[in-house]
């Protein structure tokens, strides 16, 4: 039997996801094309608050990925993955004319405005 696995223990699923500090909860969370699609519509694209925050900090505010990671309380690598995913979703939305819905994952914590910036 593998280490740490006794009767009644299931396989481990890795570490619990770290909480992400979110500076802005998006006010507008649903974007859709102005014209209805021709034919059968494609399913919407879902973006997380984490991806939105990485996109906002790096592409809108002009922070480096390292600075964005410090603000979000995660590593630069985590910011890179979220940013890469967010950019792909925005491009897919624009090119394919699909809806984009921004949703929480449940591990985001709004950053208080009285917290000082790192």
Q: How do the domains of the chain map onto residue ranges?
A: 51-105
pLDDT for 77 equals 96
Residue showing tokens 């910011």 = 79
**Banded pLDDT at 1 (limits 50, 70, 90):** very low
Taking residues 59-77, report their average pLDDT: 96
List phi, psi (to 5°) of 110: -65, 135
Reduced to 3 states, what is the DSSP secondary structure of residue 90?
helix
For a pLDDT cut of 70, what percent of the chain falls above it? Answer: 81
H or E stretch at 93: helix 76-96
Is 0.85 topped by the overall pTM? no
Residue showing tokens 């624009």 = 94
Question: Rounded CA gap, 16 and 1, in Å?
Answer: 24
Residue 57, both tokens: 């900090």
pLDDT for 19 equals 77
């Amino acid at each position: 039997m593998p280490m740490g696995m006794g009767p009644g223990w299931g396989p481990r699923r890795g570490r619990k996801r770290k909480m992400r500090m979110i500076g802005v909860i998006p006010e507008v969370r649903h974007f859709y094309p102005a014209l209805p699609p021709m034919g059968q519509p494609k399913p919407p694209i879902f973006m997380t608050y984490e991806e939105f925050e990485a996109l906002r900090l790096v592409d809108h505010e002009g922070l480096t990925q390292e600075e964005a990671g410090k603000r979000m309380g995660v590593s630069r690598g985590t910011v890179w993955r979220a940013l890469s995913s967010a950019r792909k979703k925005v491009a897919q939305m624009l090119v394919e004319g699909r809806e984009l819905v921004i949703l929480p994952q449940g591990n985001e914590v709004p950053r208080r405005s009285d917290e000082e910036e790192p």
